[in-house]
Structure 1
Amino acid sequence: MYNILVVDDEPLICKGLCSLLSSSGLAISQLFTAHNGYEAMDYLRMEDIDLLVTDIQMGEMSGIELMHQAKMIKPWLQAIVISAHETFQYAQLAIRLGAKDYLIKPLNGDQFLDSVRNVLLSVNKLIPSQDETLAGFREQFRLEQPSAERDELLKKLTADPASADATAAALRSRFGTDLSGPYYSVFRVQLGSSSELLQYAALNIAMELLDQEWRPVAYYSGGDAVNVIIQWSDARYEENGTNKIHQLDMLGRSLHTNIANYLRLPCVVGISQILRGAAFIGELGQQAAKAIRWNEEHRELGVFYYGDFNYGRYAQDPTEEEMTAQNNMIVEKSKAYIDAHYAQKGLTLHEVAQKNHVSPNYLSYLFKKDTGHNLWEYVIKLRMEESRRLILNTDLRRYEIAERVGYESPEHFSKIFKKYFGVSPTELKK
């Protein structure tokens, strides 16, 4: 059974799509509707959503921004985008964020249901056993031994910054490997196996996931690890509205989820910072390897971003005591920021993370570990406690209270309130 979230700022469209879905015969458990991106984010944080169906133009938060935020929370979330505009740029952005379809209004009911059915079928695919997966790779690929010379050149690139430009040129001329950057980051995937076949399968998953958008260059880096170099052109790097740490976080968690689920293989992903120039690729590789080391202290976390550990503050690698003190400070500063801004419309985990100069993934982990509940549960707790106080002690109307605690609509506020307290605001007032 599936949970589907339909988001459109036109209530009649939400109603019509839900009516279509309800009578479709699909195995739908629950249908949720939201009329803007902020309402949708609450459902994504609180409910187990399998499929997001979203309009692309919706006031303050567009469907593109909603998809971006949603993928940060759940990199595996499936999405279908609907739009009144047959614009290539919108479609390109939607597909880049993983949309499975881009449908133009007015929607054809049969086409819409076919699209939903196809997406849900992919969600429902049984995860194969590792043997079945590897058999599939044997059938799909010829499994030629990757070029040892190419791997050696890539290892030289990471070990000898002085000859980086010449090595990159040799890779391009001999193997067609494009390393023109000029911005780079490195992902290191530490696999729980030294099997060459599993490493090859992991490389293929990485290449398919990252596709050509990031111009990935993947190679064996020795032992049970593989490295993936991703690149930005000047134009792509300067794109507005995209926080690069959040992008790296999303890619790292997607990589971890796909390898762990598809290969049934435990893995740890280390992510470097972003630097300009091929001469720094070696340093980036070292950063990614260094980030992975923190898995020894945090076994329950599988994705590590180098920038989260603030190495620059220490003359040598920070001790466990120093890191504990730093982590406590991050949580306390995050709680203080939330205490001051919980009533802000559109407050996100990513905003809180950015204020603390850490990745959303690491902040979520620290907050839950330190407080016992996730960050957004803390936001809702503050909002609900304040709204309860206002209901019992003031004569403010429902829409005024909703406004004061950060909700776009009184209807959505009432839904969250009843879910939290078990009674509606009106029932509590009585």
Structure 2
Amino acid sequence: MYTILVVDDEPLICKGLCSLLAASGIDIQTIHMAHNGYEALDYLRAEDIDLLVTDIQMGTMNGIELMQQAKMIKPWIETIIISAHETFQYAQMALRLGAKDYLIKPLNGDQFLDSVRNVLLKMRKPEPAGQDELIAGLREHFYMAEPLPQSVDWLNRLVADPRGTIELAGKLEAKHGIRLAGPYFSMLRIKLNWDGGPGDSKRKLVSGDGKLLQYAALNITNELLNEQRSHTAFYCSDQEIGVILQWNEEQYEEAGADRVNELDMIGRSLNFNIHKFLGISSMVGISQIMKGIEYLNVLNEQSNKALQLSGQHPDHFVFYYGDFNWSLYPKQPSEEELSAQTSMIVDKAKTYIHERYAQKGLTLHEVAHNNHVSPNYLSYLFKKETGINLWEYVIKLRMEESRRLLLQTDLRRYEISERVGYESPEHFSKIFKKYFGISPSELKK
């Protein structure tokens, strides 16, 4: 069963869409409704949303911005955009971010429900099969040609040694159609773990089955990245896949793009989908971005170093090189040094949150940016160190302050809502009641 979030600043449209969904017969567990982007973000942070249906033009946060924030929180969330304007620029941006449909108002009810059904149908997956059934299925269905051994060898030489880079890149394009024009590059390494990881049972594979799983993971990687990003994926070792990402000048300078968040979303999507379809865990190491193909060896070293952090954080799966201050440690950092840096990052995040928790539109991305780490890594460290996730901490501060204001001042509900960072008194009341079990007016009495 699925959970859907409908977002529109016109209450009648919002209610109408929710009513259509409720009466559709689609296998829906819960339908949430929000009237602006900030309300929607609270649902996205607190609930397990499968499908986001959002209007594109809504007050202070439009649907594109909401979609970007949603993808940071859950990169695998599916989205349908609705709009009163058939604007090519909006449609292009929405599709680039992975929107599954772009519907024009006034909406046709049947068309809307067909779109929802199509999206949910593609999300549906069978109950997890046993390892034997999975391997048998892979043997039966995977017929695509593997990468040519020579191109794999050349790609590994290309990322390992800066000498002869231009010559090798030319050969790859001439003989195998692999074009590495850049000029901006990043490198990902995906380490597959079919011996069992957190949440996985130990499994024994017969000869050749590991290669089959690696082959399937390579195809999942290509399928996920093919539509939206220029990339080259290849085998690095028996249990690793390398991915070279590239951007041309226009793509890299695209307005509003945050490349660290983009890399983080790619890494988390790859990890999620490999586990979803193959039932195996993986770890992803992500390099920074550099200009010039001659730096591929540096990016390769960075992605390898990022993977080293998995030794200290075995319950985390995506690591960005820039999340750790490697320049402070000429050798592999000790457990004590890692712990000290974790505490410093979390303490700095707490200080920032305490100063700004009442700010409307505060986001995890903003807190992470101030800390010079990726949002995903900050979120992981914060929960590991404090026992609660970062947004629960923000809500705790907001609720404690709102209770104090209710009991010690004569401020009205809308004034308190404004002071603790909520867009509307109704949304504030909903969060307050969920947190304390009673409404603001009941507490006041």
TM-score band w.r.t. shorter chain: over 0.9
Residue 345 of structure 1 deviates from its aligned partner by 0.5
TM-score norm. by structure 2 comes to: 0.93
Q: CA deviation at 1:141?
A: 4.3
Q: Map residues 140-219 of structure 1 onto 2, 5 A cutoff.
A: 140-193=141-194, 195-219=210-234
Residue in structure 2 matched with residue 32 of structure 1 by the alignment: 32
Q: Using the TM superposition, give the Cα deviation of residue 20 of structure 1 relative to its aligned residue in structure 2, in angstroms.
A: 1.0
Q: What is the distance in 2 between the residues matched to 1:199 and 1:51?
A: 30
Equivalent residue number for residue 86 of structure 1: 86
Q: Which residue of 2 aligns with 1:408?
A: 423
Q: Partners in 2 of 1:55 and 1:8 — Cα distance?
A: 5
Quote the offset at 1:256 in angstroms: 0.2
1:321-351 Cα shifts (integer Å, max 9, x gaps): 2221111000000000000000000001111
Inter-partner Cα distance in structure 1 for 2:14 and 2:253:
35
Aligned counterparts of 2:47 and 2:229: Cα–Cα separation in 1: 31
Query: Aligned pair count?
Result: 430
RMSD of aligned Cα (Å)? 1.5
Q: Provide the rounded CA distance (Å) in 2 between the counterparts of 1:3 and 1:145.
A: 38
Partner residue of 2:345? 330
| 1:114 alignment partner in structure 2 | 114
**2:51 corresponds to:** 51
**Distance in structure 2 (CA, Å) of the matches to 1:220 and 1:173:** 20
- Could you tell me how far apart the structure 1 residues matched to 2:105 and 2:121 are? 24
Q: State the Cα distance separating 1:255 from its structure 2 match.
A: 0.3
Q: Amino acid of the residue matched to residue 145 of structure 2?
A: E
Equivalent-residue separation in structure 2 for 1:396 and 1:55 (angstroms): 33
Partner residue in 2 for 1:425: 440
1:10 to partner: Cα distance = 1.1
Distance 2:252 2:298 in 1: 20
CA contact (8 A) 1:3 1:29 kept: yes
TM-fit CA distance, 1:137: 4.7
- Matches for 1:132-143 after TM superposition, within 5 Å: 132-143=133-144
Q: Say if 1:127 and 1:261, in contact at 8 Å, map to a contact too.
A: no
Give deviations 1:341-393, integer Å, cap 9, x for gaps: 00000001111011001111110111001100000000000000000101111
| Correspondence 1:284-363 to 2 at 5 A | 284-363=299-378
Distance 2:87 2:141 in 1: 35
Counterparts in 2 of 1:375-394, with a 5 A limit?
A: 375-394=390-409
Q: Which moved more, 1:338-347 or 1:87-96?
A: 87-96
Instruction: State whether residues 71 and 77 of structure 1, in contact with CA within 8 Å, keep that contact through their aligned partners in structure 2.
Output: yes
In 1, the alpha carbon distance for the partners of 2:444 and 2:379 equals 35
What residue in structure 1 maps to residue 205 of structure 2?
none
Query: Cα deviation per residue 1:171-225 (whole Å; 9 max; x = unaligned)?
Result: 1111110100111111101112482211111111111111143211011111311
Alignment-derived partner of residue 198 in structure 2: none
Structure 2 counterpart of 1:202, one-letter code: A
Paired residue type of 1:316:
K
SS of equivalent to 2:164: helix
Deviation at 1:318, TM superposition (A): 2.3
1:5 aligned counterpart, secondary structure? strand
**Structural mapping, 1:367-378, within 5 Å:** 367-378=382-393
SS of equivalent residue, structure 1 residue 216: strand
Aligned residues with identical type, % of pairs = 63
Q: Counterpart of 1:49 in structure 2: which amino acid?
A: I
Kindly state the Cα deviation for residue 140 of structure 1 after the two structures are TM-superposed.
4.8
2:199 counterpart of 1:223: no
1:244-273 Cα offsets, whole Å, 9 max, x none, are 111111110000000011111111111111
Q: Which residue of 1 aligns with 2:76?
A: 76
Letter aligned with residue 296 of structure 1:
G
Whether 1:261 aligns to 2:245 is no
CA positional deviation for 1:312: 1.9
